[in-house]
Amino acid sequence: MKVTVKYFGLVAEAAAKSEEVMELDETLTASELKVQCLIGLAIADKDSVQIAVNQNLDETITINDGDEVALLPPFAGG
Amino acid sequence: MDKKKPKKVFVQGAIPPEKIATSVANHQSKTNIGAHSIFLGQIRADEVEGKTVTAIDYTAYEEMAENVFHEIREATFTKFDITCAHVYHSLGKVNVGELCLFVFTSSAHRKIAIEATNFLVEEIKAKVPVFGKEIFEDETHQWKVNK
């Protein structure tokens, strides 16, 4: 299955990209996909990164084909 | 009153101070209003290890952020007896001393408007996927985190 992964803020900086299409050959939860995406990235506090699946921040969600996934560092609005 | 209309929150660059005056003027015909409450976020020249912040470059997960802004605004109307609520947030580079957030609520009486504005600001800071790169005078940067 294919998912679109979007990177933001310090995660985009560490990954040196803002978006990619990933091919997954196993069923993953959002939490598991987050760990996989962050492997090898120079991010001091990986626990502070949230993952949104189709804009939903529930990390127990199972990823489905065609989902839009976003890796979100700590919010800094205002 | 204008509860159901989704409004675009993001503006490119700093929010001009004139926008605040114009917004106030636009509400003078709504004579059931007795109080406006306004919050303005301004970029602060923080000092970090001897370096001074000169600007914040804002980015966002825009589609999600606009939806979350809308949900927060709807929740504010449910929770408080307000007449109007307006929110504007910057994207892109905003220099120190310039405005990056404008929250404006109106009600018949002051307490409700003040509480509604506080609620909106706290919810925005906690829930909206906006990211801020603090740029120092030597062009290095660090990532802002809301406290």
Chain A CB contacts of B41 under 8 Å are 78
- Determine the distance from the C-alpha atom of residue B139 to the mean position of all C-alpha atoms in its chain, rounded to a whole number: 26
pLDDT at B1 over 50: no
Please state, as a whole number, how many other Cβ atoms lie within 10 Å of the Cβ of residue B144: 24
Q: Where are the domains of chain A?
A: 2-72
Residue B129 to residue A6, Cβ atoms within 8 A:
no
> What pLDDT, on a 0 to 100 scale, did the predictor assign at position B4?
56
Task: Tell me what pLDDT residue B16 has.
Answer: 98
CA distance linking residue B22 with residue B24, whole number of Å: 5
Best CA proximity match to B66, nearest among B11, B145, B122? B11
Q: Pairing state of beta strands B35-42 and B82-95?
A: unpaired
Q: Give the residue extent of every domain in chain B.
A: 10-137
Q: Could you read off the pLDDT of A9-37 as tens digits, one per residue?
A: 999 999 999 999 999 999 999 999 999 99
pLDDT at position B7: 80
pLDDT at B5: 65
Inspect the interface and report whether the beta carbons of B61 and A8 lie closer than 8 Å. Answer: yes
Q: What is the pTM of this model?
A: 0.94
Mean pLDDT over B73-97 rounds to 98
Considering the domain B10-137 in this protein, what is its CATH number?
A: 3.90.1170.40
* pLDDT score of B93: 98
Average pLDDT, rounded, for chain B: 95
Closest partner residue to B128 among A8, A73, A75, by Cβ? A75
A29 shares contact with chain B (CB less than 8 Å): no
Q: Looking at this predicted complex, what is its ipTM?
A: 0.96
Chain B: residue whose CA lies nearest to A53: B64
Name which CATH class applies to A2-72. alpha beta
Contact B83, B33 (CB under 8 A): yes
